[in-house]
Amino acid sequence: MSRMMKQQWSRWFTTSFRVRYQESDQMGVVYHANYLNWFEIGRTEMIRALGFTYRGMEEEGVLLPVVDLDIHYKSPARYDDHVTVFTRMTQFSPLRIHYEYEVRRLKEEEHDLLSTIGIGLDRLPGHELVTGSTKHVWVNKDWKPARLDKCAPKLYDALRSSLLGGKE
């Protein structure tokens, strides 16, 4: 198996919130750059769901800068919408990680159903608002490439296990 795994997907991780007033313009539409913040929230909460924090990663000397970003706007989110950011890994190696995102507006019953059945779905609930992806590299505090399996082996194992779904 190559070091950079072929296109595989982890399960979807989710985080939900209501669109805040300061995230929207006078028309009540979410300002486009806020979706990038929401992608970061999705990544952060995914790492947290695996039992780690970005602060802990940084304390171990590992940073994760974005090196590539792709975003597609389908439909606007609006002030007070209930949105869910779906986040999953699509590729992972000791030096790189790629994420995929979908931001969706969910009705209350869809959100309740989501919390009941989990994220093993082929088709995500809600109305698609934005899709995107980011690519990252693992670096040390000197911004030199860092092998995650050497610098933070527990995090590496958790991410790898999540991507492989427990399969080798």
Active site residues: 25
Beta strand pairing call for 127-137 and 82-92: unpaired
Q: Which helix (H) or strand (E) holds 57?
A: helix 54-59
Query: What 3-state DSSP class applies to 45?
Result: helix
The values of phi and psi at residue 41, to 5°, are -60, -45
Print burial letters for 44-59: b (CB count within 10 Å at least 16), e (below 16).
ebbbeebebeeeebee
Proportion of the chain in helix, strand, coil states, percent, rounded to 5: 30, 30, 40
Question: Do the Cβ atoms of 146 and 138 come closer than 8 Å?
Answer: yes
